[in-house]
A and B are shown apart, each in its own frame.
Chain A
Amino acid sequence: MIRRSRAQQLGLLGGLVGAFLAAAAVTAPALADEGEEAVPARTQVQTAVAILRTQPEQLELAADRINDATEADDKDGVDIDRVEQAKKTLEAGDMAKTELLLEQALGGCPGEPIANPTKIRATRPQQPCPTPAHELALGRVPLGGAAKPALVAIGAVLVVGGLVLTRSIR
């Protein structure tokens, strides 16, 4: 029986760990992509829209989802031409147009909820799209003019008045 020295044992262990890490590094990208084609394009596009809406800083994640949508096996219910256009507009840095194109690719009105009508929501009415809600939101009218200072003053008076009254009642 061959007895290996402690240094040899450590070397063998290090070699095995190194080999494992090297194999993992080579195969990881392939493993990560494995099975992405099985996810329907509709789900990928929905996720891309959600990422753009809720985490606009995650552009690469959204780009991956758009790319996966174009390569999906199941492209049912998705206008892939618009997805391809969205891919280009995202590369050009136009996020608003990308979101719009992706929503249209799903047959949705811009800014409206995107849903599978058979699930939680009712069937989408067959009529022209209304003004996009998110465009309306861009014009959110903050309390302007005298309203905000007046409300702040009223609030402050109520707080101070209430505290003085509380003290006097006690």
Chain B
Amino acid sequence: MSDTTLDRPAGVPPASGRRRLWDALDERLGLKGLQYPIPAHANTLAYSLGGLSLLSFVLLVATGIFLTQYYNPDPAAAHASVRRIITGVTGGDFIRAFHYWASMAMIVLVGLHLLRVFVSASFKRPREGNWVIGVALAAITAGLFFTGSVLKWDQESLEALEHNIEVGKLLGRFGFWFSDTFGGIALLTRLYVVHISVLPALFTLAVVAHLLLVKRHGMAPSPFRRDTAKDSGPEPTRPFTRHLAELGALGLVLVGVLTLLAALLPPGHGPAPIEGIEVTKPPWPLLWVYPVEDWLGLSGILWATLAIFAALLLVPLVDRSPERHPRRRLAVMIGAGLVVVAIIGLIIFAAIQPVVSHIEM
């Protein structure tokens, strides 16, 4: 007879195997610590966008590890190695397609998460610091997308890299890293290192800080809770483990959608690149800077990108009122709406305009 049975009070039924396993794991790993209460409104899709972004990142790391086994970052061999992944590696076409669609999902989810935090004013005191970390995460995501789009090393990739080199020159001595001669190693190879190690490491560190601050400050209140509900007392809570369970279920939906997209719509791979000419346009998440470059020249790319991230960083300083409902923050909502509409408009405009050569041959 075990000690557990001896300790059990009379009349209490023996614990099930599942319960005993949970208790054993909790004793060693402190899992019950995750059952802390969070507001009920957190169990919605809008408040799961951040978690889904993180899941996309995990999926990208997993598929990326597979791709690194076959990818060759030497500029003379990179294009052929991608073709080999597509045509000659078992499951390579599917994994590459999954990686591509997961990156698209991450861009969209991070953008929507950012918008949700902005609209619900979740960045307001005392969460300004976490907003800044979130903007840094968005910037790292953009960096991951850009470097990833260069690695496939087709004509579009080379043209993106040539723009990158030219923008690096605009940075003067601070742009030395983007020079094609720095370090004696091809820029493509160095971008590969950044894509698979530097940026993911920075992303992981920033995410840990982001999540710790969410835990520290708690989930931000929802401005959309009806006044009648507010009058009836504090918002009901749910254990965080329930939020994790819902996130897991939504994660299954995400993985399913990505599987369908990867199987049915694998991304193309352009022709081997030719240096010194410009005959393609960037992928859609970067397309909004294309017309800006038409109007302002190469420096337009740099200034437009800096302006967007500077504006995001300034949000907590500009919108400092205690009001959280969008209707009571009309000025900032209209301003942000105009920026979003302008970006979407620029993407559509760039998609229909003919290819323009920006770099001097």
Residues in chain A within 8 A of chain B (CB atoms) = 43, 46-47, 49-51, 53-55, 111-116, 119-122, 124-125, 130, 133-134, 136-137, 139-143, 147-148, 151-152, 154-163, 165-166, 169-170
12 A–B contact pairs at CB < 8 A?
A43-B361, A50-B155, A50-B271, A115-B275, A119-B180, A137-B83, A137-B86, A139-B87, A154-B259, A158-B259, A159-B253, A162-B250
Residue contact B275 to A120, C-beta cutoff 8 Å: yes
Bitwise, B271-299 to A at CB < 8 A (1) or not (0) is 11111110110000000000000000000
Bitwise, B248-281 to A at CB < 8 A (1) or not (0) is 1111111111111011101001111111110110
Please report the C-alpha to C-alpha distance between residue A134 and residue B274 in the assembled complex, in whole angstroms: 14
Residue contact B84 to A136, C-beta cutoff 8 Å: yes
In the bound complex, residues from chain A placing their C-beta under 8 Å from that of B245 are 165, 169
Bitwise, B175-195 to A at CB < 8 A (1) or not (0) is 000001000001110000000
Additional A-B contact list (14), CB under 8 Å, known A46-B276, A140-B86: A47-B274, A54-B279, A113-B158, A113-B273, A125-B76, A148-B263, A151-B259, A151-B263, A155-B260, A162-B253, A165-B245, A165-B252, A166-B250, A170-B246
Interface size of B in residues (CB-CB distance below 8 Å): 55
Rounded to whole Å, the gap between the CB of A73 and the closest CB of chain B is: 16
Rounded to whole Å, the gap between the CB of B23 and the closest CB of chain A is: 23
Supposing A53-B155, A112-B80, A136-B84 touch, asked if A162 and B272 sit within 8 A by C-beta, the answer is: no
Supposing A46-B276, A53-B271, A166-B246 touch, asked if A112 and B76 sit within 8 A by C-beta, the answer is: yes
B-side interface mostly = helix
Name which of A49, A124, A162 has the most chain B CB atoms within 10 A of its CB: A162
> Which residue of the partner chain, among B88, B242, B251, B272, contacts A53 with CB atoms under 8 Å?
B272
B329-361 CB contacts (< 8 Å) to partner A: 361
Name which of B187, B188, B254, B275 has the most chain A CB atoms within 10 A of its CB: B275
Task: Name the 4 nearest CB pairs between A and B, nearest first.
Answer: A158-B256, A162-B252, A155-B259, A162-B253
Please report the C-alpha to C-alpha distance between residue A133 and residue B83 in the assembled complex, in whole angstroms: 7
Nearest residue (CB) in B for A142 is: B93
In the bound complex, residues from chain B placing their C-beta under 8 Å from that of A147 are 94
Nearest residue (CB) in B for A45 is: B274
Please report the C-alpha to C-alpha distance between residue A151 and residue B253 in the assembled complex, in whole angstroms: 14
In the bound complex, residues from chain B placing their C-beta under 8 Å from that of A161 are 252, 256
In the bound complex, residues from chain B placing their C-beta under 8 Å from that of A157 are 256
In the bound complex, residues from chain A placing their C-beta under 8 Å from that of B49 are none
Residue contact A46 to B274, C-beta cutoff 8 Å: yes
Residue contact B76 to A124, C-beta cutoff 8 Å: yes
Rounded to whole Å, the gap between the CB of B319 and the closest CB of chain A is: 31
Rounded to whole Å, the gap between the CB of B262 and the closest CB of chain A is: 7
> Which residue of the partner chain, among B79, B93, B242, contacts A112 with CB atoms under 8 Å?
B79
B212-243 CB contacts (< 8 Å) to partner A: 242
Nearest residue (CB) in A for B255 is: A158
Please report the C-alpha to C-alpha distance between residue A165 and residue B246 in the assembled complex, in whole angstroms: 8
Residue contact A49 to B274, C-beta cutoff 8 Å: yes
Residue contact A137 to B87, C-beta cutoff 8 Å: yes
**Interface residue? B43 (CB, 8 A):** yes
Please report the C-alpha to C-alpha distance between residue A161 and residue B253 in the assembled complex, in whole angstroms: 7
In the bound complex, residues from chain A placing their C-beta under 8 Å from that of B273 are 113-115
B147-165 CB contacts (< 8 Å) to partner A: 153, 155, 158, 161-162, 165
Nearest residue (CB) in A for B361 is: A43
In the bound complex, residues from chain A placing their C-beta under 8 Å from that of B87 are 136-137, 139-141
> Which residue of the partner chain, among A43, A51, A162, contacts B251 with CB atoms under 8 Å?
A162
In the bound complex, residues from chain B placing their C-beta under 8 Å from that of A156 are 256, 260
In the bound complex, residues from chain B placing their C-beta under 8 Å from that of A111 are 80, 272
Residue contact B269 to A137, C-beta cutoff 8 Å: yes
Rounded to whole Å, the gap between the CB of B267 and the closest CB of chain A is: 12
In the bound complex, residues from chain B placing their C-beta under 8 Å from that of A160 are 256
In the bound complex, residues from chain A placing their C-beta under 8 Å from that of B158 are 113, 120
Residue contact A151 to B242, C-beta cutoff 8 Å: no
Residue contact B272 to A112, C-beta cutoff 8 Å: yes
Supposing A119-B180, A120-B187 touch, asked if A158 and B274 sit within 8 A by C-beta, the answer is: no
**Interface residue? B74 (CB, 8 A):** yes
In the bound complex, residues from chain A placing their C-beta under 8 Å from that of B155 are 50, 53-54
Nearest residue (CB) in B for A148 is: B263
B122-159 CB contacts (< 8 Å) to partner A: 153, 155, 158
Please report the C-alpha to C-alpha distance between residue A30 and residue B220 in the assembled complex, in whole angstroms: 68
Nearest residue (CB) in B for A135 is: B83
In the bound complex, residues from chain A placing their C-beta under 8 Å from that of B180 are 119-120
Please report the C-alpha to C-alpha distance between residue A54 and residue B268 in the assembled complex, in whole angstroms: 12
Rounded to whole Å, the gap between the CB of B190 and the closest CB of chain A is: 11
Please report the C-alpha to C-alpha distance between residue A51 and residue B256 in the assembled complex, in whole angstroms: 38
Residue contact B94 to A169, C-beta cutoff 8 Å: no
Rounded to whole Å, the gap between the CB of B152 and the closest CB of chain A is: 12
